Amino acid sequence: MSNQSARYRITHQTHYSYSDQVAICQNQLRMQPRSGGRVTVHSSTMSIHPSPDSVFEHKDYFGNQVYSFAIEFLHRELKVVATSDVTVAAVDMPPETSTPEGSTFEGDVLWETIVEQALTTADTPLRVLEYRFDSARISASEIFAQYARQSFLPGRGILAATLDLTRRIHRDFKYDSSATEVNTPTDKAFELRAGVCQDFAHIEIACLRSLGIPARYVSGYLRTLPPPGKERMVGADESHAWLSVYAGSEHQWVGYDPTNACFVGTQHVPICVGRDYNDVSPMRGVVLGGGKPSLRVSVDVEPIDEPSAGVVPGAGLQQQNQPQQQSQQQQKSRQPPLQDPSSQRMFFFGDEGPVV
C-alpha cells in the first residue's frame, strides 16, 4: 500500500432534548482520538451546553481518552460537540498477490504461529493476550470456529486468512439496520446473517478469538463519498466500527473492515479500542428526570488536504458500498430502549446506539 496520508477536521454533534426537566446528569464521552500508531492528533476540543459543574479528563484501561462531566442543575437539553483535527497515515502493508488458493502476502506469519505465541507470555505482550478472551458481548464457540476455519486453512498466513474471513462476512451477511438492535447478542446476529457494522465486527472478532487469535474492537469514523455529480453534505458522514487483529511483532495490529470487505485505510479514523462495543460507546451516562428524550446526531469528516485524502489502493471502499452506511435518521431508530422513561426516575442512555 502507499504511504499517503489524509488530514481531517471531524465534528461530532449530539443533541438531547427532554420533555421534562433533568435534575442531574453524569456522562462519559469517548469521542476524542488519541495520538499513536497511524493517527496524529493536532487538536481536539469538547464543547458542552449547558456548562458542566464538574469535568474530569482521563484515560481508561485501554488508553482511550475519556471526558467525564456532571450537570447538577435543571436543564431541558444537552448539546455535545466534539471537534478534532487529525492526520491518518496509510498502513504500510506488503502487496497482495492472488493465487488459485487465495491471496498471499510477502512475509505473512502463519496464523498457527500467532496462536502458539499467544499461549506463551514470553513471546506475546500481556496487552495483546487479553484480547484472546471472552468479553461482555463476545464469547468464543465452536460455531464461530467452524465458520472461521473455512478461511484459516492449515499453513495460511494471518493477513491472508483474516482478509478472506473479512470478505466472506461481507458476502455472507446482509447489511440491514432493521435486523438487529444495539443489544442483540453476537450469536443471534450470526444466526440471522444480518446486521450493521457493530454486529459484523463482533462476529469477526468472535471467529478469531474462537481460534485463539487476539482481536479487538475499534470505533471511529468513516469518511463517506457523495454520489457522482453531487455535492458533499455537511453532517452526513458516519460513526463506524471495525476490528484489528494481532498479526505478529512486525505488523502488530492490522485493521479490517468487514462491512466494506477491506483493510482499514486512510478514510477510517480510529477513536477508541476495546474488547467490544461496551468498552468504546461514544457517550454513556445516567440522568435523573427528563421524561421522554429525543436525539439528533450529526458527524462531519471534512478533508483538510483533499488531494492526499483518497482511498488507500486495494482498500476496497468503492462507491457501491455507500448504501451500507446508515443515515442519521436510521441511526435514531436504533436507539437502546430507556430503562425507565418516567420523569422522576433514573435511567441510563447511550448516544447513537450502535455505530454503523
**Residues 104, 157 contacting (CB under 8 angstroms):** yes
Residue 223: its pLDDT value, please?
A: 87
- For the chain, what percentages of helix, strand and coil (3-state, to nearest 5) are there? 20, 40, 40
- The boundaries of the domain holding residue 10 are 5-88+281-350
User: φ, ψ for residue 237 (rounded to 5)?
Assistant: -75, -175
Q: Select from 293, 349, 290 the least CA-distant residue to 24.
A: 290
Q: How far apart are CA 229 and CA 231, in angstroms?
A: 7
Q: What is the model's pTM?
A: 0.83
Alpha helix (H) ranges present in the chain?
Answer: 111-118, 126-129, 142-149, 158-172, 186-192, 197-210, 328-332
Helices 158-172 & 111-118 angle (0-180, nearest 10): 100
What domain count does the chain have? Answer: 2
Residue 318 lies in a domain: yes
Q: Are residues 109 and 225 in the same domain?
A: yes
In the block, which residue shows the cell 447478542?
185
Residue 356 lies in a domain: no
**Residues 216, 244 contacting (CB under 8 angstroms):** yes
287: domain CATH number is 2.60.40.2250
SS3 label, residue 25: strand
DSSP state of 228: T
Question: Rounded to a whole number, what is the largest CA-CA distance in the chain?
Answer: 66
Q: How far apart are CA 60 and CA 254, in angstroms?
A: 22
Q: Among the three residues 251, 278, 305, which one is the final residue of a domain in this structure?
A: 278
Q: Are residues 44 and 101 in the same domain?
A: no
Residue 236: its pLDDT value, please?
A: 56
Residue 253 lies in a domain: yes
Residue 98 lies in a domain: yes
Residue 93: its pLDDT value, please?
A: 79
Q: Are residues 171 and 40 in the same domain?
A: no
Q: Among the three residues 278, 309, 324, which one is the final residue of a domain in this structure?
A: 278
Residue 332: its pLDDT value, please?
A: 37
Q: How far apart are CA 271 and CA 287, in angstroms?
A: 25
DSSP state of 333: T
SS3 label, residue 302: strand
**Residues 217, 202 contacting (CB under 8 angstroms):** yes
* pLDDT tens, the chain, 356 aa long: 445 899 999 999 999 999 999 999 999 999 999 888 899 999 999 999 999 999 999 999 999 999 999 999 999 999 999 999 999 998 887 777 777 777 788 788 999 999 998 887 666 677 898 999 999 999 999 999 999 999 999 999 999 999 999 999 999 999 999 999 989 999 999 999 999 999 999 999 999 999 999 999 999 999 887 777 776 655 457 789 999 999 987 788 999 999 999 999 999 999 999 999 999 999 999 999 999 999 999 999 999 976 443 333 333 332 223 323 333 333 433 433 333 333 333 444 444 543 44
Q: Are residues 229 and 114 in the same domain?
A: yes
Q: Are residues 166 and 305 in the same domain?
A: no
Q: Interior CA angle at 326 toward 150 and 162, to 5°?
A: 20
Q: Among the three residues 221, 248, 278, which one is the final residue of a domain in this structure?
A: 278
Residue 355 lies in a domain: no
DSSP state of 307: G
**Residues 129, 118 contacting (CB under 8 angstroms):** yes
Neighbours of 104 (CB within 10 A): 16
Q: How far apart are CA 84 and CA 11, in angstroms?
A: 7
